[in-house]
Amino acid sequence: MKRWKLTLQVAATYVGTVVGAGFATGKEIVQFFTQYGELGMVGILVSGLFFIWLGSKMMLLSHAIGASSYQQLNTYLFGDVLGKAVNGVMIVILFGVTSVMLASTGAIGKEQFGLWPPVGMIFTIVLTYIFIARGINGILMVNSLVVPMMLSFAFIIFVPNISYFSLIQTKPDLTLVTQWKWAVSPFLYISLNLALAQAVLVPLGSSVKDRSVIKKGAVIGGCVLTFMLVSTHLALSNLPYSFQLDIPMSAVVKNISAWVNVLFTVVVLGEIFTTLIGNVFGIAKQLQSFLPLNDKQAFAFIILACFIIGQFGYAQLLGFLYPIFGYIGLAFVWMLCIKKEKIS
Average pLDDT over residues 19-25: 69
Percent of the chain with pLDDT over 70: 83
Distance (Å, rounded) from C-alpha 28 to C-alpha 275?
Answer: 14
Distance (Å, rounded) from C-alpha 298 to C-alpha 58?
Answer: 26
More confident residue, 66 or 309: 66
Percent of the chain with pLDDT over 90: 12
Average pLDDT taken over every residue of the chain: 79
pLDDT value at 8 more than 50: yes
**pLDDT at position 168, please?**
45
Distance (Å, rounded) from C-alpha 231 to C-alpha 228?
Answer: 5
Written as one letter, the residue type at 216 is K
**pLDDT at position 20, please?**
67
pLDDT value at 51 more than 90: yes
The 3-state secondary structure of the chain, one letter per residue? CHHHHHHHHHHHHHHHHHCCHHHHHCHHHHHHCHHHCHHHHHHHHHHHHHHHHHHHHHHHHHHHHCCCCHHHHHHHHHCHHHHHHHHHHHHHHHHHHHHHHHHHHHHHHHHHHCCCHHHHHHHHHHHHHHHHCCCHHHHHHHHHHHHHHHHHHHHHHHHHHHHHHHHHHCCCCCCHHHHHHHHHHHHHHHHHHHHHHHHHHHHHHHHCCCHHHHHHHHHHHHHHHHHHHHHHHHHHHCCCCHHHCCCHHHHHHHCCCHHHHHHHHHHHHHHHHHHHHHHHHHHHHHHCCCCCCCHHHHHHHHHHHHHHHHHHCHHHHHHHHHHHHHHHHHHHHHHHHHCCCCCC
Average pLDDT over residues 149-169: 68
**pLDDT at position 46, please?**
94
In this prediction, residue 44 has a pLDDT band, given cuts at 50, 70 and 90, of: very high
In sequence order, the 6+-apart residues with CB closer than 8 A to the CB of 1 are none
Residue 62 near residue 73 (C-beta atoms within 8 A): yes
Distance (Å, rounded) from C-alpha 143 to C-alpha 250?
Answer: 22
pLDDT tens per residue across span 165-206? 544 433 454 554 456 778 888 888 898 888 888 888 998 888
Q: Is 77 exposed, middle or buried (0-12, 13-18, 19+ CB in 10 A)?
A: buried
Average pLDDT over residues 5-30: 82
**pLDDT at position 310, please?**
65
- Domain 2-338, CATH homologous superfamily name and number: Hydantoin permease (1.10.4160.10)
pLDDT tens per residue across span 280-338? 888 887 787 777 777 778 888 888 888 777 666 555 555 666 666 667 788 888 888 88
**pLDDT at position 170, please?**
37
